[in-house]
Structure 1
Amino acid sequence: MTQQRILIVGGVAGGASCAARSRRLDEDAEIIMYDRGPYVSFANCGLPYYVGDVIVDESKLLVANADLFQERFNIQVCLEHNVCGIDRDRQTITVENLKTGEKREEAYDALVLAPGAAPIRPPLPGIDLPGIFALRTIPDSRRIRDWITTHQVKTAVIVGGGFIGLEMTENLIHRDIQVTLLEQLPQVMPPLDPEMVAAVHDLLRERGVNLCLGDGVSGFATAGDRIQVSTASGQRHTADLVILAIGVRPENQLAKAADLAIGERGGIQVNDQMQTSDPHIWAVGDVVEVQDFVTQTPTQIPLAGPANRQGRIAADAIAGRASTFRGVQGTSVCRIFDLTVASTGASEKLLQRLAIPYEKVHLHPGHHVGYFPGATPIDIKLLFAPETGKILGVQAVGESGTEKRVDVIAMAIQTGATVFDLEEAELCYAPQFGAAKDPVNFAGMIAANHLRGDAPIAQWSDQAWRSHCLVDVRTVSEFAAGAVEGAINLPLNDLRDRLTELPLDQPIYVYCQVGQRAYYATRVLRLNGFEAFNLTGGYKTYDAMQAT
């Protein structure tokens, strides 16, 4: 068999995985990996925690180095080498040694593009001023740490409320730096639905973050030895440090210059074997546009897990194997102080935008049984197909056990499972870990009861409850502490004795604090001839929606 020459551009998640997998599949192939930076295969997800002194040893961020790739895998790694051109007809690349300036051509049988994505730096006035940073690489994190030390930073402005923005907020506060967080949208964590991040907004403010939502940055200027950040609303924030966490865009310049097919979002178009429009070129990681597993539409989600899997699949394809990439679900998790925020699959916003029919339930179960010390709630939103109950997505926010539930449902989505499957899921149980009816089971049960017609749910957002009978089945004291305007209070324990107070000729919308007592009440009412609906998620969900 003729020896293959495999060249890989980019050496972090996707590129490094492809290189190592290629060697495990082909002992004879010549494999060379190029990276513009001084490091290969580093943990870029850990960079905010290195800035925040949670990770204090920089070497811990290095998953592997060039020597390891050479000695263990017989893979040549060329660091500080920029691949600046592709000649598809001759199957060669042009490589520049950034230390010497020397350029050379290298031939390939298979070329893998894994350059990743670059932080967005919009062309705003003053954006290149000293003290304004983006975070992508170890040298970036080193420069931010040095700036904090040498300028004795006490205040910072973070632009963008996504993963990096929130993680940087937490880590700068960990270093006793006051933070103003600017987000152009009316919520942080834009992929999630608004009501699901209300608790995150509250927590950020409790921790002293100056949270400015719905206000984008318009420019930067010097203010003595500090930086003044101006916003679209006319506000001005002065700080010692600015972090740009606006988002990323694919590093597609090399692919564009080679006339490879590019998607609407700027990612390189690939098939399910990660092959580009050129049969000798593959692309993986943050630079590619792939298919959303749930909606079956093109998408681009820069996450390490999919990048690693794509690298393996590209290696399989180059070796002649039939492996294919299923698509991405966007399964992700972020820790913000005491809260864990996790999600997988489609959000309600996405389903609405694509006009995909859906139903939803909200619930707020404890992460383990209430009688065992330390139980805390998890706010869960489950989205599913109205006809079949097929699971479309889930979002969860809580202190403990949150990502575990999302991981379970992520796997359920992979298998095409329904809410009826969640009802029957057999999960680990001990008092300190969960309950005999796990939150995953509860989510399935609520949705399944709705689809069967046993306990139909209603949505606060639909507003139908405003023009019909609204019943609060909490206790008198709970009702007095705060209730929905227009509701009448019929505590659950008194409900059977007071049924005559309710109309039989119109729908009755029932709520409690989180939904469980309203479920019991809905069953009582329906068994007594009333057309009753449970307002999903109860007063807690209503309150969160009012905050958005």
Structure 2
Amino acid sequence: MRILVIGAVAAGTSAAAKARRNDEEAEIVIYEKDTHISYSGCGMPYYIGGEIENGEELTPRNPEFFRNKYNVNIRTEHEVLKLDKEKKELTVKNLVTGEVFTDSYDRLILATGARSVVPPIKGADNEHVFTLRNINDMYKIKRYINNRSPKKAVIVGTGFIGLEMAENLKGLGIEVTMVELLPQVSPGLDPDMAILVEEHLEKKGVRVITGTSAREISERNVFLSDEKRLDADLVILATGVKPNVKLAEEAGILLGETGAIRVNTFMETSQEGIYAAGDCIEQYHVVTGKPVYRPLGSTANKTGRIAGNNITGGSLEFRGVLGTGIYKVFDLTVAQTGLTEREALKEGYEISVSHNIKPDRPAYMGGKEMTIKSVADRKDGRLLGVQIVGPEGVDKRIDVFVSLITFGAKVQDLVHLDLAYAPPFSTTKDPVMYTGMIQENAIFGNRPLMNSDKLDELMASGKKVRIIDTRVEKQFGASHVDHAENLPHGVIREKMKDLPKDTIIITYCNKGTTGNAVQNILLNRGLKEVYNLSGGHKTYTRYRLLKKRSEKK
């Protein structure tokens, strides 16, 4: 059997390696139009920033490695121009010699990856404007920085690559401005979590401009759609990627709803004998079961392995994605998995949302505060999605949540987890467990939460509402929720006789814990409708900032 693979980065090489493990006799050839293969693309910003000294560490495997270890022939600088699925032939061009030839296959794997999106900006082709998608892009940016010593950079887009580049360029002493079309940074997050990232960027000296786009790039400036002009002698376009599907589409292979190649759970395309894997394919979401496009190196390796197994007679199945992602912004870690609040609402779920602000380990062991936002199905408590922002311990918790959501856990299951505990690593009640406690109380324990936006709606409804600030007088005097009255936790029992039982009560503190304690007192003393403000005053303050910004625009 002759197996051809198009693409030699994560999915293509994983597919070829697995196919070889299953079939020692098959002839396996990979065509790759680039010069580098099987590289660690996620490490590229850190080479540019100097944290990784040798770029070759990101490209540890070359064609010779695959030839010697797997008996796989990888032909770099060979571009596949056409796929004839009837004849089972590829038309290939040798980019070095210019020779064009055909090659035939019995089985074919499409691992054509994705390409950077370049917006229609005048001047986007200038020599100081770059995208970062492959190793050659990385070296071009590094050479430009070394040779030209740019002083000011503009990054257009605030996704993973944009944020990681901001940190690394800033580390080189370059002044950085980030421009984002949406009203928030990090588009995959909910706004109330994204603002934590934005605040951290600004704290680190990165200027952030949201709600506008770049319309023109000159030699020294970037002109924005709102008429602002930014100085820039280096521009990074980090505005996302699109799947490379031209070959498949021209060959009549079906694409999915997202514009990527449609595959079934075995990685089979609409054409018998042709499989696809990696960043060129459409996935499906574990929670909703619906098509999504989430290009990640981890998923590419996984789907490549499945394709390589099944093309040689196996029957592995893909189980979907949660859209899990994690990245570092200076000394802050940002992670998410599953559905965001806005995605869950769009899908029609009746949801409970909590903001859990807790240290990753005890303060006496240097614990630092993380914010965990969870989204759960109010009907049965099923955990739908989680976002976490914090300096330390985020990776550990997000992976626990990934496992829970994957296997359909409910919020009431979280408190029963036998998680590892010792003071250097966690609090006795881990933040994961606290999230479960908060959500279980809210959904099943008559301890409902009130989100900041819902509070505004309630106040505008004309209903009888009293907002109780449970903090000490000094904290209340410094800043408080609009229309709140100060009844500290220590005096609430003697003051609660003045609270009419037909009034809706909202309690809050700094982060949520004391607000919940007072909520419990009021409910246990017979008040009927008492809510605790999710995330407390900290989360409310950020919500008000976002609202004011939105009103200005």
Quote the residue 1:475 is aligned against.
472
Question: Residue 305 of structure 2 aligns to a residue in which SS?
Answer: helix
Quote the residue 2:25 is aligned against.
28
Quote the residue 1:542 is aligned against.
540
Q: CA RMSD in A?
A: 1.2
2:352 and 2:443 in contact (8 A); partners too: no
Mapped partners of 1:420, 1:311: distance in 2: 36
139, 142, 163: which one aligns with 1:145: 142
1:218 and 1:232 in contact (8 A); partners too: yes
Quote the residue 2:382 is aligned against.
390
2:350 and 2:379 in contact (8 A); partners too: no
Quote the residue 2:178 is aligned against.
181
Percent identical pairs in the alignment equals 40
Quote the residue 2:373 is aligned against.
381
1:344 and 1:393 in contact (8 A); partners too: yes
Quote the residue 2:491 is aligned against.
494
1:116 and 1:250 in contact (8 A); partners too: yes
What is the CA-CA distance between 1:67 and the residue it aligns to? 1.0
Matched, 1:340 2:333: yes
List, as ranges, runs of 4+ consecutive aligned residues in structure 1 with deviation greater than 3 Å: none
2:501 and 2:526 in contact (8 A); partners too: yes
AA partner of residue 227 (structure 2): G
1:108-119 equivalent positions in 2, closer than 5 A: 108-119=105-116
Matched, 1:301 2:301: no
What is the CA-CA distance between 1:354 and the residue it aligns to? 2.8
Quote the residue 1:79 is aligned against.
76
Mapped partners of 1:197, 1:377: distance in 2: 16
AA partner of residue 351 (structure 1): A
1:196 and 1:544 in contact (8 A); partners too: no
1:454 and 1:523 in contact (8 A); partners too: no
**Consecutive unaligned residues in structure 2, runs of 5 or more:** 547-553
Quote the residue 2:271 is aligned against.
278
What is the total number of aligned residue pairs between the two structures? 540
Mapped partners of 1:401, 1:217: distance in 2: 36
Matched, 1:167 2:200: no
Mapped partners of 1:534, 1:465: distance in 2: 13
What is the CA-CA distance between 1:15 and the residue it aligns to? 1.0
Mapped partners of 1:514, 1:465: distance in 2: 21
1:35-434 equivalent positions in 2, closer than 5 A: 35-222=32-219, 226=220, 228-370=221-363, 372-434=364-426
Mapped partners of 1:426, 1:147: distance in 2: 51
Question: Residue 78 of structure 1 aligns to a residue in which SS?
Answer: strand
432, 437, 440: which one aligns with 2:432: 440
What is the CA-CA distance between 1:159 and the residue it aligns to? 0.5
Mapped partners of 2:19, 2:478: distance in 1: 63
Mapped partners of 1:396, 1:89: distance in 2: 49
Mapped partners of 1:265, 1:415: distance in 2: 26
2:383 and 2:409 in contact (8 A); partners too: yes
Mapped partners of 1:19, 1:511: distance in 2: 57
Question: Residue 101 of structure 1 aligns to a residue in which SS?
Answer: coil
AA partner of residue 510 (structure 1): T
What is the CA-CA distance between 1:211 and the residue it aligns to? 0.9
Mapped partners of 1:375, 1:130: distance in 2: 46
Mapped partners of 2:20, 2:432: distance in 1: 40
2:49 and 2:169 in contact (8 A); partners too: yes
1:472 and 1:511 in contact (8 A); partners too: yes
1:198 and 1:547 in contact (8 A); partners too: no
What is the CA-CA distance between 1:465 and the residue it aligns to? 4.9
**CA deviation profile, 1:233-255 (whole Å, cap 9, x unmatched):** 01111211111001111111111
Mapped partners of 2:51, 2:472: distance in 1: 45
What is the CA-CA distance between 1:111 and the residue it aligns to? 0.7
Quote the residue 2:550 is aligned against.
none
**Consecutive unaligned residues in structure 1, runs of 5 or more:** none
Question: Residue 392 of structure 1 aligns to a residue in which SS?
Answer: strand
